Protein backbone atom coordinates (compact mmCIF):
# COMPACT_ATOMS: atom_id res chain seq x y z
CA UNK A 1 0.00 0.00 0.00
CA UNK A 2 1.34 3.41 -0.92
CA UNK A 3 2.11 5.74 1.96
CA UNK A 4 -0.06 8.46 0.42
CA UNK A 5 -3.11 6.26 0.89
CA UNK A 6 -2.44 6.13 4.61
CA UNK A 7 -2.77 9.89 5.02
CA UNK A 8 -5.38 10.62 2.37
CA UNK A 9 -8.01 11.30 5.01
CA UNK A 10 -5.79 13.84 6.79
CA UNK A 11 -4.72 15.88 3.75
CA UNK A 12 -6.57 19.17 3.32
CA UNK A 13 -9.01 19.15 0.41
CA UNK A 14 -7.78 21.73 -2.10
CA UNK A 15 -8.49 22.67 -5.65
CA UNK A 16 -5.60 21.94 -8.00
CA UNK A 17 -3.25 24.84 -8.74
CA UNK A 18 -0.51 25.49 -11.31
CA UNK A 19 2.85 24.42 -9.89
CA UNK A 20 6.32 24.87 -11.37
CA UNK A 21 8.84 22.25 -10.20
CA UNK A 22 12.64 22.08 -10.17
CA UNK A 23 15.64 20.80 -8.20
CA UNK A 24 19.44 20.70 -8.39
CA UNK A 25 19.95 16.92 -8.68
CA UNK A 26 18.75 16.76 -12.28
CA UNK A 27 15.46 16.55 -14.13
CA UNK A 28 15.50 12.73 -14.23
CA UNK A 29 16.24 12.13 -10.52
CA UNK A 30 13.63 9.92 -8.86
CA UNK A 31 12.78 12.25 -5.94
CA UNK A 32 11.74 14.98 -8.36
CA UNK A 33 9.78 12.59 -10.58
CA UNK A 34 8.04 11.01 -7.57
CA UNK A 35 7.04 14.48 -6.39
CA UNK A 36 5.69 15.24 -9.87
CA UNK A 37 3.61 12.07 -9.79
CA UNK A 38 2.22 12.85 -6.33
CA UNK A 39 1.35 16.44 -7.25
CA UNK A 40 -0.45 15.43 -10.45
CA UNK A 41 -2.27 12.56 -8.72
CA UNK A 42 -3.53 15.15 -6.20
CA UNK A 43 -5.04 17.19 -9.03
CA UNK A 44 -2.39 19.87 -9.44
CA UNK A 45 -1.14 21.07 -12.84
CA UNK A 46 2.59 20.48 -12.45
CA UNK A 47 5.26 21.41 -14.97
CA UNK A 48 8.78 20.18 -14.24
CA UNK A 49 11.77 22.22 -15.43
CA UNK A 50 15.01 20.85 -13.99
CA UNK A 51 18.69 20.91 -14.92
CA UNK A 52 19.85 18.39 -17.51
CA UNK A 53 22.71 17.32 -15.23
CA UNK A 54 23.31 17.13 -11.50
CA UNK A 55 23.92 20.73 -10.44
CA UNK A 56 24.12 20.29 -6.67
CA UNK A 57 25.89 23.04 -4.78
CA UNK A 58 25.48 25.68 -7.50
CA UNK A 59 23.44 28.03 -5.30
CA UNK A 60 21.93 30.94 -7.22
CA UNK A 61 24.17 30.66 -10.30
CA UNK A 62 22.50 31.49 -13.61
CA UNK A 63 23.79 31.12 -17.18
CA UNK A 64 22.46 30.77 -20.71
CA UNK A 65 21.67 27.10 -21.45
CA UNK A 66 24.08 25.29 -23.80
CA UNK A 67 23.83 22.29 -26.11
CA UNK A 68 24.09 19.06 -24.11
CA UNK A 69 27.58 17.52 -24.00
CA UNK A 70 28.42 14.28 -25.82
CA UNK A 71 27.71 12.19 -22.70
CA UNK A 72 24.05 13.25 -22.69
CA UNK A 73 21.75 14.22 -19.81
CA UNK A 74 21.91 12.64 -16.36
CA UNK A 75 21.08 8.90 -16.28
CA UNK A 76 21.11 8.87 -20.12
CA UNK A 77 17.79 10.71 -20.03
CA UNK A 78 18.65 12.58 -23.23
CA UNK A 79 21.27 11.80 -25.90
CA UNK A 80 24.53 13.65 -26.36
CA UNK A 81 24.23 16.74 -28.52
CA UNK A 82 20.61 17.37 -27.56
CA UNK A 83 19.33 20.96 -27.69
CA UNK A 84 19.99 23.27 -24.74
CA UNK A 85 16.39 22.82 -23.61
CA UNK A 86 14.07 19.92 -24.28
CA UNK A 87 11.14 17.83 -23.13
CA UNK A 88 10.31 14.20 -22.54
CA UNK A 89 9.18 12.65 -25.83
CA UNK A 90 5.88 11.42 -24.38
CA UNK A 91 5.12 14.05 -21.73
CA UNK A 92 5.75 17.75 -22.50
CA UNK A 93 5.32 18.58 -18.81
CA UNK A 94 8.75 17.02 -18.08
CA UNK A 95 11.50 19.39 -19.22
CA UNK A 96 15.26 19.79 -18.95
CA UNK A 97 17.41 22.91 -19.18
CA UNK A 98 21.14 22.41 -19.67
CA UNK A 99 22.25 24.97 -17.12
CA UNK A 100 21.94 25.79 -13.42
CA UNK A 101 18.87 25.20 -11.21
CA UNK A 102 18.00 28.91 -11.21
CA UNK A 103 18.18 28.96 -15.00
CA UNK A 104 16.02 25.84 -15.16
CA UNK A 105 13.20 27.22 -13.01
CA UNK A 106 13.46 30.64 -14.66
CA UNK A 107 13.00 29.00 -18.08
CA UNK A 108 10.09 26.99 -16.74
CA UNK A 109 8.40 30.07 -15.28
CA UNK A 110 8.88 32.39 -18.26
CA UNK A 111 8.78 30.04 -21.26
CA UNK A 112 7.78 26.40 -20.77
CA UNK A 113 4.88 26.54 -18.31
CA UNK A 114 3.03 29.46 -19.98
CA UNK A 115 3.12 27.56 -23.30
CA UNK A 116 1.44 24.58 -21.67
CA UNK A 117 -1.03 26.70 -19.69
CA UNK A 118 -2.21 28.99 -22.50
CA UNK A 119 -0.22 31.91 -21.15
CA UNK A 120 -1.09 31.46 -17.47
CA UNK A 121 1.63 31.81 -14.86
CA UNK A 122 2.59 29.40 -12.06
CA UNK A 123 0.78 29.93 -8.79
CA UNK A 124 3.31 28.06 -6.66
CA UNK A 125 6.91 26.84 -6.97
CA UNK A 126 8.03 23.54 -5.45
CA UNK A 127 11.68 22.49 -5.52
CA UNK A 128 13.05 19.07 -4.57
CA UNK A 129 12.89 16.94 -2.58
CA UNK A 130 16.63 17.38 -2.71
CA UNK A 131 18.88 14.36 -2.27
CA UNK A 132 20.45 15.29 1.07
CA UNK A 133 19.57 17.91 3.65
CA UNK A 134 19.79 21.68 3.19
CA UNK A 135 20.18 23.11 6.67
CA UNK A 136 21.60 26.32 8.12
CA UNK A 137 24.91 27.20 6.41
CA UNK A 138 24.10 24.89 3.49
CA UNK A 139 21.34 27.17 2.18
CA UNK A 140 23.53 29.66 0.23
CA UNK A 141 25.14 26.80 -1.70
CA UNK A 142 22.04 24.72 -2.48
CA UNK A 143 20.69 24.87 -6.01
CA UNK A 144 17.36 23.49 -4.79
CA UNK A 145 17.11 26.44 -2.40
CA UNK A 146 18.50 28.80 -5.05
CA UNK A 147 15.69 27.87 -7.44
CA UNK A 148 13.06 28.46 -4.74
CA UNK A 149 14.65 31.81 -3.89
CA UNK A 150 14.55 32.89 -7.54
CA UNK A 151 10.85 32.04 -7.72
CA UNK A 152 10.05 33.92 -4.50
CA UNK A 153 12.27 36.96 -4.97
CA UNK A 154 12.48 37.56 -8.71
CA UNK A 155 9.30 35.96 -10.06
CA UNK A 156 7.15 36.75 -7.01
CA UNK A 157 5.84 33.19 -6.84
CA UNK A 158 5.41 31.59 -3.40
CA UNK A 159 8.04 28.87 -3.08
CA UNK A 160 8.59 25.72 -1.03
CA UNK A 161 12.03 24.06 -0.94
CA UNK A 162 12.09 20.41 0.20
CA UNK A 163 15.13 18.33 1.14
CA UNK A 164 15.54 14.82 2.57
CA UNK A 165 18.44 13.29 4.46
CA UNK A 166 18.22 9.78 2.98
CA UNK A 167 19.17 8.45 -0.42
CA UNK A 168 21.60 8.79 -3.29
CA UNK A 169 20.96 10.21 -6.76
CA UNK A 170 18.75 7.62 -8.48
CA UNK A 171 17.36 7.41 -12.01
CA UNK A 172 13.69 8.04 -12.67
CA UNK A 173 13.20 4.55 -14.13
CA UNK A 174 14.42 2.61 -11.08
CA UNK A 175 12.03 1.18 -8.45
CA UNK A 176 10.81 4.01 -6.21
CA UNK A 177 12.70 3.90 -2.89
CA UNK A 178 10.67 4.07 0.32
CA UNK A 179 12.30 7.36 1.32
CA UNK A 180 11.39 8.95 -2.01
CA UNK A 181 7.70 8.09 -1.66
CA UNK A 182 7.59 9.17 1.99
CA UNK A 183 9.29 12.49 1.24
CA UNK A 184 6.92 13.19 -1.66
CA UNK A 185 3.84 12.41 0.44
CA UNK A 186 5.07 14.58 3.31
CA UNK A 187 5.84 17.40 0.87
CA UNK A 188 2.33 17.12 -0.57
CA UNK A 189 0.91 17.52 2.94
CA UNK A 190 2.84 20.77 3.42
CA UNK A 191 1.98 21.97 -0.09
CA UNK A 192 -1.73 21.30 0.28
CA UNK A 193 -1.78 22.91 3.72
CA UNK A 194 -0.29 26.10 2.30
CA UNK A 195 -2.76 26.07 -0.61
CA UNK A 196 -5.71 25.43 1.72
CA UNK A 197 -4.70 28.49 3.78
CA UNK A 198 -5.61 30.72 0.84
CA UNK A 199 -3.84 33.37 -1.21
CA UNK A 200 -1.42 34.96 -0.77
CA UNK A 201 0.15 31.61 0.08
CA UNK A 202 3.25 33.21 1.66
CA UNK A 203 4.35 36.75 2.49
CA UNK A 204 6.37 38.50 -0.21
CA UNK A 205 10.06 37.58 -0.45
CA UNK A 206 9.76 34.52 1.78
CA UNK A 207 9.97 30.78 1.15
CA UNK A 208 9.74 27.62 3.21
CA UNK A 209 12.88 25.58 3.85
CA UNK A 210 11.64 22.08 4.71
CA UNK A 211 13.94 19.23 5.75
CA UNK A 212 12.94 15.60 6.21
CA UNK A 213 14.93 13.29 8.54
CA UNK A 214 16.46 9.96 7.60
CA UNK A 215 14.19 7.09 6.59
CA UNK A 216 15.21 3.48 7.22
CA UNK A 217 13.60 0.05 7.41
CA UNK A 218 13.46 0.35 11.20
CA UNK A 219 12.92 4.09 11.84
CA UNK A 220 10.68 6.74 10.34
CA UNK A 221 9.36 4.29 7.75
CA UNK A 222 5.66 5.16 8.01
CA UNK A 223 4.32 8.57 7.09
CA UNK A 224 2.12 8.69 10.17
CA UNK A 225 5.22 8.68 12.42
CA UNK A 226 6.36 12.13 11.30
CA UNK A 227 5.71 15.43 13.04
CA UNK A 228 6.16 18.92 11.56
CA UNK A 229 8.06 21.41 13.74
CA UNK A 230 8.19 25.17 13.09
CA UNK A 231 11.89 26.10 13.15
CA UNK A 232 14.42 28.75 12.27
CA UNK A 233 17.29 28.50 9.75
CA UNK A 234 20.12 29.61 12.08
CA UNK A 235 20.46 29.37 15.85
CA UNK A 236 19.66 33.07 16.24
CA UNK A 237 22.02 33.45 19.17
CA UNK A 238 23.76 36.51 17.75
CA UNK A 239 22.31 39.53 15.99
CA UNK A 240 18.80 38.24 15.28
CA UNK A 241 15.49 39.86 16.07
CA UNK A 242 12.92 38.22 18.31
CA UNK A 243 10.99 35.18 17.10
CA UNK A 244 7.28 34.59 17.61
CA UNK A 245 6.25 32.60 20.66
CA UNK A 246 5.05 29.07 19.90
CA UNK A 247 4.26 26.05 22.04
CA UNK A 248 3.92 28.10 25.19
CA UNK A 249 7.43 29.53 25.17
CA UNK A 250 8.86 32.93 24.36
CA UNK A 251 12.31 31.52 23.59
CA UNK A 252 13.80 31.17 20.14
CA UNK A 253 12.16 28.93 17.58
CA UNK A 254 13.90 25.55 17.50
CA UNK A 255 16.95 25.33 15.25
CA UNK A 256 16.31 23.30 12.09
CA UNK A 257 19.59 21.38 12.49
CA UNK A 258 18.55 20.24 15.95
CA UNK A 259 15.09 19.20 14.78
CA UNK A 260 15.73 17.45 11.45
CA UNK A 261 19.28 16.18 11.99
CA UNK A 262 20.18 15.82 15.66
CA UNK A 263 16.68 14.65 16.63
CA UNK A 264 16.00 13.04 13.26
CA UNK A 265 15.47 9.63 14.82
CA UNK A 266 12.30 11.02 16.38
CA UNK A 267 10.87 11.58 12.88
CA UNK A 268 10.72 15.36 13.15
CA UNK A 269 10.39 17.47 9.99
CA UNK A 270 11.72 21.02 10.22
CA UNK A 271 9.80 23.81 8.49
CA UNK A 272 11.67 27.11 8.54
CA UNK A 273 10.16 30.41 7.36
CA UNK A 274 13.03 31.85 5.33
CA UNK A 275 13.91 35.25 3.90
CA UNK A 276 14.50 35.13 0.13
CA UNK A 277 16.72 38.20 0.28
CA UNK A 278 19.48 36.58 2.33
CA UNK A 279 18.44 32.93 2.83
CA UNK A 280 18.19 33.34 6.59
CA UNK A 281 15.21 33.19 8.98
CA UNK A 282 12.26 35.42 8.11
CA UNK A 283 11.33 38.25 10.49
CA UNK A 284 8.81 37.72 13.29
CA UNK A 285 5.91 39.39 11.47
CA UNK A 286 6.38 37.04 8.51
CA UNK A 287 6.88 34.08 10.86
CA UNK A 288 3.48 34.73 12.40
CA UNK A 289 1.67 34.77 9.06
CA UNK A 290 3.34 31.54 7.97
CA UNK A 291 2.82 29.86 11.34
CA UNK A 292 -0.91 30.59 11.16
CA UNK A 293 -1.08 28.98 7.73
CA UNK A 294 0.78 25.85 8.82
CA UNK A 295 -0.78 25.53 12.26
CA UNK A 296 -3.14 22.64 11.30
CA UNK A 297 -0.15 20.31 10.79
CA UNK A 298 2.36 21.65 13.32
CA UNK A 299 3.43 19.91 16.54
CA UNK A 300 5.51 20.92 19.56
CA UNK A 301 8.75 19.42 20.73
CA UNK A 302 8.50 17.54 24.05
Convert the pLDDT of each residue in 262-286 to its tens digit: 998 999 999 999 999 999 999 999 9
Q: Give every CB contact of residue 274 below 8 A, 6+ residues apart in sequence.
A: 139, 161, 206, 207, 208, 209, 233, 280, 281, 282
Contact 107/65 with Cβ under 8 angstroms?
yes
Q: What is the CATH number of the domain that holds 196?
A: 3.40.1210.10
Cβ atoms within 10 Å, residue 82: 17
Rounded CA separation 28/10 (Å): 30
Cα dist. 14→3, 8, 119, 194 in Å?
Answer: 19, 12, 23, 10
* pTM of the model as a whole: 0.95
In a domain, 241, yes or no: yes
Query: Around Cβ 276, how many Cβ atoms within 10 Å?
Result: 23
What is the pLDDT at residue 171? 98
Phi first, then psi: what are they for 273, rounded to 5°? -75, 120
Helix (H) or strand (E) holding 200: none
* pLDDT confidence of residue 3: 40
Q: What's the pLDDT tens digit per position in 19-62?
A: 999 999 999 999 999 999 999 999 999 999 999 999 999 999 99
Percent of the chain with pLDDT over 70: 96
- Per-residue pLDDT for 6 more than 70? no
Instruction: Flag whether 5 is in a domain.
Output: no
In a domain, 12, yes or no: no
Decide if 2 is inside a domain.
no
In a domain, 3, yes or no: no
Task: Give the SS3 label for residue 206.
Answer: strand
Task: Give, rounded to a whole angstrom, the gap between the first and last alpha carbons of the chain.
Answer: 31
Is residue 1 one of the residues assigned to a domain? no
Mean pLDDT of 216-229: 95
- Decide if 13 is inside a domain: no
Number of domains the chain is built from: 1
Domain ranges, residue 134: 18-299
Residues in contact with 115: Cβ distance below 8 Å, sequence separation at least 6, in sequence order: none
Q: Is residue 54 a part of any domain in this protein?
A: yes
Amino acid sequence: MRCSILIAATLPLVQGVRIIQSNDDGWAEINLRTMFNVLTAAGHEAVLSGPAENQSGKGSSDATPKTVDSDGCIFSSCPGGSPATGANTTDPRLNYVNSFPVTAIKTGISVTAPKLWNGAAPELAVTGPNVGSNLDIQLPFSGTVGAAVYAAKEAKIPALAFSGFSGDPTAWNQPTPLYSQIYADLALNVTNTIIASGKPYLPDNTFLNVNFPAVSSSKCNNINQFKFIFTRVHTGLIGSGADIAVCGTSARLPWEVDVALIRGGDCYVSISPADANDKTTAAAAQQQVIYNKLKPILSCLP
